[in-house]
A and B are shown apart, each in its own frame.
Chain A
Amino acid sequence: MINRLFGNYLVKAGKLSSTQLESAFEEQKKARVKLGLIAVSEKLMTPEQAKKVNRKQAMLDKRFGDIAVDMGYLTEEQVTRLLGLQGNPYLTFAQAISDLGFMSISEIEKALGDYQKENGFTLTDMEALKSGDSDRIVPLFMTPDADDLMIEHISIAVRTMIRLVDSDIYIGNATNLSTVKAFGYALQTLDGDTKASLGFTGIEDSLLEIANPFAGEEFTTVDADALDSVAEFINCVNGMFATKVASRVNIDMLPPQYKAEDVIFNANNICVLPIYIKGKKVNLLATFGEALEV
């Protein structure tokens, strides 16, 4: 995510052109290898074991390394070593810009300092961004009054998007609103000890960027079928969230809702988090302690 956020900053600040940025992303992709592949090439796991972990990962809200440890394929120490081999996402991005001759390492470091200042990030925040860990990144973009459980809920949604929708998504700053207007939505409410809702709205056809990869389809319009896919994605996220918080809060999922028409959402406090997928923007809507009313 840091590559997209910092990359956009570099273009805005006139340090890189959009074309150079795209080339840097391509270069970085070549350098970044999946953990399973590294584990196999290091002969720590067989391809079949890596496949089993990947399958489990599609169902659980856990990282590849954690599942591999749980399944007895890797030790914690081995995972730490493999993560080191995989490379920090910031470093591989900075390396790509430098290798392509667009900026020197010192120019990149200076620009990163400017980016930090402009966004008011602390050194710890910057470490979180560089880590690529969505659990540490999402809180940086939430409003100060956001409920901890809501942040946890949204972190699971972002992490699941990275895993099942697009590994290159990035997020913007969340805002709190009491009314949101949109065309087309998918939404699910959780009810029990408390109420919470999670939904997505898009701009033009941007929700297809969730619907298509999740369902393995090629929908061309944001219709009921495409929104059904988005709703199923939300259902999976909410299932993981309900499981994770089960010892603290007992909540159950109501049937998902979706409609391909103009809608107005109302609640006392709707957290709206912009998420960018392949250059398109979708808005994640979340409430905690109340249901999002359509």
Chain B
Amino acid sequence: MAKILIVDDSRTSRKILRNILEEAGNEVVAEGVDGADGVEKFKEFKPDITTLDITMPVMDGLEALKNIKAIDSNAKIIMITAAGQQNKMLDAIKHGASEFVTKPFEADAVIKLIEKLS
């Protein structure tokens, strides 16, 4: 079981992801509604794994990734992307993202990644 922080501006996406993670026995310790909120929640909750949506207002997922990695270089981050964001995925790899998940979510794939990182 992993302690997970979900950062996504979409309530729908947060809820779908939370359901998948909790059904597999993980604990969602907090949710962030944009990148800046996600960074704050990361400091506060110190999760095992953080999921970061790439496209978000205020601070996007890439900026949040850089900020979180500056706080903890060992932080395990899964980037959440819609299809069609290959360039941003490459950027995220450069900045230390551990894995990727593409929307719409495929439950089995998400759980496999969580197990791999736990």
Contact = CB atoms under 8 A, between A and B. Distances in A.
Interface stretch (B23-31, B37-45, B65-73, B103-111): B103-111
Q: Which of A60, A224, A232, A236 has the most CB of B within 10 A?
A: A232
B113 interface: no
B12 A255 contact: no
Interface string B1-28: 0000000011111011000000000000
B85 A252 contact: yes
Interface in B80-105: 81-88, 102-104
B60 to A, nearest CB: 8
A235 interface: yes
Interface stretch (A115-123, A135-143, A239-247): A239-247
Given A241-B84, A243-B84, A215 B16 contact: yes
Contact of A255 (B55, B87, B106): B55
A34 interface: no
A90 to B, nearest CB: 30
A191 to B, nearest CB: 11
Measured as residues with beta carbon below 8 angstroms from the partner, the interface class of chain B is: 20 to 34
A252 B86 contact: no
A231 to B, nearest CB: 7
Given A59-B106, A228-B11, A236 B82 contact: yes
Per CB-CB distance, the 5 closest pairs between chain A and chain B, nearest first, are: A242-B84, A239-B82, A239-B83, A243-B84, A239-B84
Interface string A225-260: 100110110011011111100100000111110000
Interface of A: 55-56, 58-61, 164, 214-217, 224-225, 228-229, 231-232, 235-236, 238-243, 246, 252-256
Given A58-B104, A59-B104, A164-B104, A253 B84 contact: yes
A246 B9 contact: no
Given A228-B10, A253-B55, A255-B56, A238 B82 contact: yes
Q: Which of A56, A59, A242, A246 has the most CB of B within 10 A?
A: A59
Nearest to A257: B57
Contacts of A225: 11-12
A215 B108 CA distance: 18
Contact of B15 (A164, A215, A236, A242): A215
A216 B16 contact: yes
Given A164-B104, A235-B103, 17 more contacts: A55-B108, A59-B102, A60-B83, A214-B12, A215-B15, A225-B12, A228-B10, A235-B55, A236-B104, A238-B82, A240-B83, A240-B84, A243-B86, A246-B86, A252-B88, A255-B9, A255-B57
A231 B55 CA distance: 12
30 contacts: A56-B106, A59-B83, A61-B83, A164-B104, A215-B16, A217-B12, A225-B12, A228-B11, A229-B12, A231-B12, A232-B10, A232-B12, A232-B13, A232-B103, A235-B10, A236-B103, A239-B81, A239-B83, A239-B85, A239-B102, A243-B83, A243-B86, A246-B84, A246-B86, A252-B84, A252-B85, A253-B84, A253-B85, A255-B55, A256-B55
